[in-house]
A and B are shown apart, each in its own frame.
Chain A
Amino acid sequence: MPGPIRSWVAVKHGVDVVLARAERATGNVAMDRAPRKTSDFDRNAVEEAVRIREKFGGKVTALTVGPPTAKEALRDALAIGADDAVLISDPARPELDGRGVAQALAAYGRKHPEFDLWFFGEGSTDHFTGTIGPRVAAALGAPSLSYGRRVTVDDGAVVVDREYERELERVRAAFPAIVTVGQEINQPRVPTFMSTLKASKKEIRAVGPADLGVDGAEWAPTTRRERVFVPEVARKRQALAGADVAASAHMLLEALRAEGVLP
């Protein structure tokens, strides 16, 4: 039976894809002003770490990289059951790109190398590059086990069932290891009133580059985000309403034959 397990979970306070809207005039989405929420798969990642702690004991630490408003994602993680939380930010650069986020997380991992498992969502809801987990792992020289659909813990090692386009794999790696998970791995619990209240009272530790012994220059962006726009989909939006349902059905079939999409 494995002993207590120290799990970390990286969470992102990303753009809410349902609430984000394009400006009518330009078709552009103002990402910096869009509403935000915790990235979907990151909740699965927190849930998985919490389940492991419930089974084997240990501790779950949630980490995020971002401006102070990103604390919201940490509160969510605490409400699901994380024990403590760390906000990594650089006042000089409120918004980092993927490289910056990975560098910041790797700097934290180098300074405090005391994790057994470090969970990530396999991609973020807003940008979904799916690169942060494996990139941090590479920077730390740790194994990365991506696309986890089932995670079990063995003595000092993790076993991950994962899915690729054409094959399924079961792989195993000794601690410390980085694991990314998708939505199928679990159903994240819905925080209760009490757990949300408790989460809101927990202290969130804030650290910056200086605390991690770096100067932040290596967090500089290597991506210039030009714009995010919603492509125009010109649909006809013709409502078909005949005298009765049979008439509507005939109208539809006629329209589809005229379009040449039905023989």
Chain B
Amino acid sequence: MTGETILVFSEEPDAVLGLVATARSALAGTPGRVEAAMLGDGAAARAGGADRLYRLLLPEGARHDPSVAAAALQQVVDLAAPRLILVASTKRGRETAARLAGVIDAAVTTGVSSVALEADGVRIHREVLSGNAIGEEVLLGPNPIVAVMSSAPTGGSPAAAPTEVTDVPIEPGPARITLVERTVKPAGGLRIESAERIVSVGRGLRKKEDLALIQELARAMGAVVGCTRPIAAEAGWLSDDHWIGLTGHRVKPRLYVAIGISGAVQHLVGMRESTIVVAVNKDANAPIFAQSDYTIAGDLYAVVPALVRALTGT
């Protein structure tokens, strides 16, 4: 066996495919191996072309306790001696990564957008300063753990040889955390992450009834409605699936229209990947203007109806 091993892990089978692809590109054509640790039958690891599959035989219903997955991974790390461990930067992924780092005493980081192996460590880029800046870091020491942001799963490149399988049984330890209740959030709803056009509203709106104006503009533009945190979390005028920003959703539409939004850094991070940004604000000095392609300085209560009229020809 030559080359280095990258170990990937996720609780979510869907994420494994993307992680295997990320690992392959980090190996950049060197004769390294990609090994995957996962729950379930491991179909995703096979489909992604992992060289080896570690099937974690976790006790039923242990998902809520990250120490269980971390203990399982600790065993896999001993077996695989990986140069790098990649996990998905989901909430559970970050938790497991952190606990694993605690038990094997390794460097760990999360929210990573790029990863490269170098002679003395693993170079990564990640979002810092609430998304205002990018941090470039090199993780040192054995078995660094990197939680990567989701990447679109690619077709995968099948391994030269079929995936080898190792079962990893886990001794059920004393239950430290008990699950009292789990509710799956209602699915469906709005998928604002994949919207092509978004008309987004902030605290410039005076009252809930005035949302009708914004909805009318969104309809005329073929857009979905987004909002800032105060509109969702404080006023409760729109549900959380409309909330854009650091603690809300990250969006990258082709068109983002920000209406009555000041452009706080925590909001900007959620929409900065939009292709074209438009801002309507009565304050020409609002920070959003510096982050926009087209700006109209004016009262939204005049500008929005004018846009609707111009679009609908009424």
Contacts and interface: CB of A to CB of B under 8 A. Distances in A.
Nearest to A132: B98
B91 interface: yes
B17 interface: no
Contacts of A125: 130
B60 interface: no
B99 A15 contact: no
A263 B197 CA distance: 11
B79 interface: no
Contacts of A22: 133
A237 B138 contact: no
A161 B233 CA distance: 17
Residue in A147, A250, A256 whose Cβ sees the most chain B Cβ within 10 Å: A256
A137 B185 CA distance: 28
Interface string B108-135: 1111000000000101000111101111
Contact of A226 (B138, B265, B311): B138
Given A130-B98, A262-B221, A256 B278 contact: yes
B64 interface: yes
Contacts of A233: 272, 291
For chain B, give the interface size range.
35 or more
Interface string B261-301: 00001000000100111100000100001111111111000
A18 to B, nearest CB: 6
A250 B310 contact: yes
A262 B98 CA distance: 44
Given A131-B110, A235-B292, A248 B306 contact: yes
Interface stretch (B28-36, B45-53, B65-73, B158-166): B65-73
B91 A226 contact: no
A37 B144 CA distance: 29
A206 interface: no
A51 B108 CA distance: 32
A138 B98 CA distance: 8
Nearest to B272: A233
B142 to A, nearest CB: 9
Contact of A183 (B247, B296, B309): B247
Interface string B50-66: 00000000000000111
B1 interface: no
Residue in B111, B128, B297, B307 whose Cβ sees the most chain A Cβ within 10 Å: B128
A83 B307 CA distance: 56
A236 B185 CA distance: 40
Interface string A210-233: 000000000001111111111101
A222 B140 contact: yes
A239 B97 CA distance: 46
B181 interface: yes
A253 B310 contact: yes
Interface stretch (B18-26, B171-179, B206-214): B171-179
A235 B295 CA distance: 11
B276 A259 contact: yes
B172 to A, nearest CB: 15
A167 B185 contact: yes
A222 B99 CA distance: 16
Contact of B90 (A144, A159, A165): A165
A54 to B, nearest CB: 24
A128 B141 contact: no
Interface stretch (A71-79, A88-96, A169-177): A169-177
A236 B293 contact: yes
Contacts of B106: 222
10 contacts: A17-B265, A129-B111, A132-B98, A135-B99, A165-B90, A173-B178, A223-B109, A225-B137, A239-B296, A248-B298
Interface of A: 15, 17-18, 20, 22, 29, 97-99, 102, 106, 125-139, 143-147, 159, 164-174, 182-184, 221-231, 233, 235-241, 245-246, 248-250, 252-253, 255-256, 259, 261-263
List the 9 shortest-distance A-B pairs measured between CB atoms, nearest first: A138-B102, A131-B98, A222-B107, A134-B98, A249-B306, A143-B176, A261-B255, A236-B293, A170-B180
Given A138-B99, A248-B298, A252-B294, 17 more contacts: A97-B107, A128-B111, A143-B67, A143-B176, A144-B67, A184-B233, A226-B136, A228-B134, A229-B133, A235-B290, A239-B284, A245-B306, A246-B306, A246-B309, A248-B303, A252-B296, A253-B307
